[in-house]
Amino acid sequence: MRLQKFLARAGVASRRKCETLITAGRVRVNGRVVTRLGTRVDPETERVEVDHRRVALKAARWLALHKPPGYACTRRDPSGRPTIYDLVPADAHHLPHLGRLDFMSEGLILLSNEGDLANRLLHPSAELDRTYVVELIEPVAADLPARLREGVALSDGPARARRARWVGGPGTRRPAVEIVLAEGRNREIRRMLARLEVTIRRLRRTSFGPIELGALAAGHSRDLTRAERAALERAACSRLARE
């Protein structure tokens, strides 16, 4: 296993931060300072230390969290706002989150220490579906789903819904549209709908690839099942097969 991957899996820091620790000479393998990125270590037989403290490999873990509105997707918020790490169990605080939802959005967030798989899933070429249900404030044009599928010009390039359909049409008490995106650009849905002069009442992510939010209550989390973890691996492999 590459040293930086080992450190990230051990919960030391993000992969990038671990690379910085290595090049700064703060990591030892079997008592010797290692500064070369990509150095391979055997977690079973070799002793790895950071700043003279031994680190051990943590088991791979995947967590699904139902993020409520009013929580930031970060470990520490400069403004002191609540974060998603206030919601997960203490033994999961070392898990990085995959992507993010903005402060007032809600729904499914995945956390994991399996950095390689997480990076493959987040890569734009993976084209992993993310499904959202967006409640809107009238007036709303009946052709909104079609306009989202056709594409909207944004400052960082055109954005297009892979799929979009009404789940509570215009004229209902709470009109809502289901939107499926294949990328995770910053505040993409909010910017698309703002461009179309549509006001959002509530934005909730209901799935990330093959993982569904389901009945998981707001503010609660659960470990993924083996079948769900395998489904994520298949989703990542399907991208590699297309390349």
Q: How many CA atoms lie within 13 A of 136 on its CB side?
A: 29
Task: Answer for the pair 114, 57: CB distance below 8 angstroms, yes or no.
Answer: no
Task: Answer for the pair 239, 125: CB distance below 8 angstroms, yes or no.
Answer: yes
Q: How many CA atoms lie within 13 A of 241 on its CB side?
A: 6
In Å, how far from its chain's centre is CA 56?
Answer: 25
For residue 118, give every residue at least 6 positions away whose Cβ sits within 8 Å of its Cβ, in sequence order, or none: 96, 98, 110, 112
DSSP for 39-85, please give it.
-B--TTT--EEETTEE--PPPP-EEEEEEPTT-BSSSS-TT---BGG
Burial 168-182 (b: 16+ CB within 10 A, else e): eeeeeeebbbbbbbe
Catalytic residues: 102
